[in-house]
């Protein structure tokens, strides 16, 4: 429980500060830290494979794409976007309401206590599950990733000169 509390605190703090900062690069780096925190949670829960996959995908791949996007879309003379707009108060109210609703529902509902033992579900079992009952879904995911890659390339590359405003 103490480990969980520490992981949760670090993750939430990193995410909260990241979303409040004005410097986009700092925001992105702090969000990456919170993704690492989520991976630590997976490790704590005993999902080893998912934890490493989370680090590999989020810290290794998505973060790179995010940083590239930040650098490519940076205004030439950094007038940083105003962090607060007219939507700040309703936004915070909505977020707080959702948090209150969810937390209240979680705390008031009878949930199974579960066991303290870490489930025996290793890499081999996960692989068998993925390749035997979920083989179709795995293939579909592969197709989805390929299509997404091609789509992203087409979108980001544009059509050349005539595409300019």
Among 6, 103, 135, 139, binds another protein (CB under 8 A): 103
Quote the least distance from Cβ 24 to another protein, whole Å.
Answer: 7
Question: Is there binding between residue 4 and another protein (CB under 8 A)?
Answer: yes
- Count of residues engaged in binding another protein, rule: CB under 8 A: 103
DSSP 51-113: HHHHIIIIIIIIHHHHHHHHHHT--TT--PPPS--TTHHHHHHHHHHHHHHHHHHHHHS----
Residues 55-74 within binding reach of another protein (CB under 8 A): 55-73
The contact pattern for another protein, residues 106-145, with x = CB under 8 A and - = no contact, is xx---xxxxx--xxxxxxxxx--xx---x--x---x--xx
**Which region holds residue 46: left if phi is over 0, alpha if psi is between -120 and 50, else beta?**
left
Quote the least distance from Cβ 48 to another protein, whole Å.
Answer: 5
| Sign of the dihedral through C-alpha 155, 157, 158, 164 | positive
Among 77, 87, 136, 162, binds another protein (CB under 8 A): 87
The C-alpha angle with vertex 60 and arms to 56 and 66, in degrees rounded to 5, equals 135
Question: Is there binding between residue 40 and another protein (CB under 8 A)?
Answer: no
Question: Is there binding between residue 156 and another protein (CB under 8 A)?
Answer: yes
Rg (CA), the chain: 21
């Amino acid at each position: 429980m103490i480990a969980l509390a520490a992981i949760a605190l670090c993750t939430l703090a990193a995410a909260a500060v990241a979303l409040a900062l004005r410097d986009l690069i700092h925001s992105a780096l702090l969000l990456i830290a919170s993704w690492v925190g989520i991976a630590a949670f997976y490790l704590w829960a005993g999902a080893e494979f998912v934890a490493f996959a989370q680090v590999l995908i989020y810290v290794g791949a998505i973060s790179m794409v995010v940083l590239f996007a930040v650098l490519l879309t940076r205004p030439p003379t950094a007038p940083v976007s105003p962090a607060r707009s007219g939507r700040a108060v309703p936004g915070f109210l909505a977020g707080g309401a959702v948090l209150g609703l969810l937390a209240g529902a979680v705390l008031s509902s009878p949930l199974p206590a579960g066991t303290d033992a870490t489930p025996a579900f290793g890499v081999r079992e996960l692989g068998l599950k993925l390749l035997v009952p979920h083989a179709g879904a795995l293939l579909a995911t592969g197709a989805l990733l390929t299509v997404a890659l091609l789509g992203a390339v087409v979108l980001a590359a544009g059509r050349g000169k005539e595409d300019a405003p």
